[in-house]
Amino acid sequence: MPEKEIILIGGGGHCKACIDVIEATGKYHISGIVDVKEKVGQKVFNYAVIASDEEISKLISPSVLFLITAGQIRSAGLRKDLMGKVIQYGGMMAIVISPFAIVSKHSEIGRGTIVMHKSVINAGAKIGTNVIINTGAIVEHDSTVDSDSHISTMACINGGCRIGSGCFIGSNAVVNESVSILNDVIVGSGSVVNRNITEPGIYAGNPVVKIK
């Protein structure tokens, strides 16, 4: 299969992890990285920062795919804005799935989403656009993760859950079966979500409580 050209937007630590996944697929040629203008000319591994965020429109081409590789913890705002620019100018987002992930053929994965090494997407799961399913994360059967959310390393979303848009579910957090979480919620690392979360905010603990 010929390699597809891909440009990464965001050159920090998350970008490095994304590069590792992209290289492992063998499906893409990384033609450059977009970051702040002060970093143009620098490299992330062997890949050059070729343009700033303000120059995204100049990179749009029918033969080029894009992936947002800026990270997300506190807010999905930056990732949403960057993907919005690509879509506004007519760009196409990639879907990147690690060959070391287990992704059911009966699941759905949206554009701009990356599924990282050793993660699991089970049957009937639906993953929205611009989502990060990070290393070792599990999204069980019939669960939904809405757009612009980040399911962090080793987090477990059990069956029949609904994770709203713009959420961050921290490392090793567990969301119990059939629980729903509203948009723009942060769940701290190691937390256990055993009830629906219906208000935006930051939640942590076992069982989870709102802390901010």
Residue whose tokens read 């029918």 = 62
CB 51 within 8 A of CB 41: no
Nearest to 173 by CA among 68, 105, 73: 73
pLDDT digits (tens, 9 = 90+) for 92-103: 999 999 999 999
Backbone angles phi, psi at 28, to 5 degrees: -130, 145
Burial class (CB in 10 A: 0-12, 13-18, 19+), 6: buried
Residues of the chain whose pLDDT is less than 70? 1-2
pLDDT digits (tens, 9 = 90+) for 19-61: 999 999 999 999 999 999 999 999 999 999 999 999 999 999 9
* pLDDT value for 41: 93
Which domains are seen in the chain, by residue range? 4-94 (3.40.50.20), 97-202 (2.160.10.10)
Q: What is the pTM of this model?
A: 0.96
